[in-house]
Amino acid sequence: MARKEEGKKGYTATAKYLMISPLKVRPVADLVRHESYVNAVSILEAMPQKGAGLILKVLKSAAANATYLNKKIDEEDLVITDLQVNEGPRLKRVWPRSHGRRDILLKRMSHITVSVDEKASGRK
């Protein structure tokens, strides 16, 4: 969702059905939550985790939404106001075991939502 809603503050971008567990993405999200856009991009580009690349992609999309919809906003003035990593549906797969038994393997998915907005004049 790219539009700025009246009730919510900021410009958002969402990536759904990402094939990575939310438990692996949330520690990365905690590092960049409420950071400035430029600082968050530099942190995420330096991290080797898969979740960092996924969050970076959604963050750049949210910044592009903000600069496209409001021509007065510059990327240096953006701050991450909200970063959510929610659980998506689970794919259930069968893992064979001995004596004809099986285990259920859950492949978890994530939904990542990033909201950015301009810095307030009193902040940072």
**Which pTM value belongs to this model?**
0.84
Average pLDDT over residues 108-116: 96
Average pLDDT over residues 9-22: 93
Residue 7: pLDDT over 70:
no
Q: Which two tokens stand for residue 90?
A: 């689970």
Average pLDDT over residues 67-73: 84
Q: Which domains does the chain have, with CATH numbers?
A: 11-118 (3.90.470.10)
Residue 81: pLDDT over 70:
yes
Instruction: Give the pLDDT confidence score for residue 1 in this predicted structure.
Output: 47
**Percentage of the chain exceeding pLDDT 90:** 77
Task: Point out which residues pair with 83 in neighbouring strands.
Answer: 114
Measured distance CA(54)–CA(74) in Å, rounded: 23
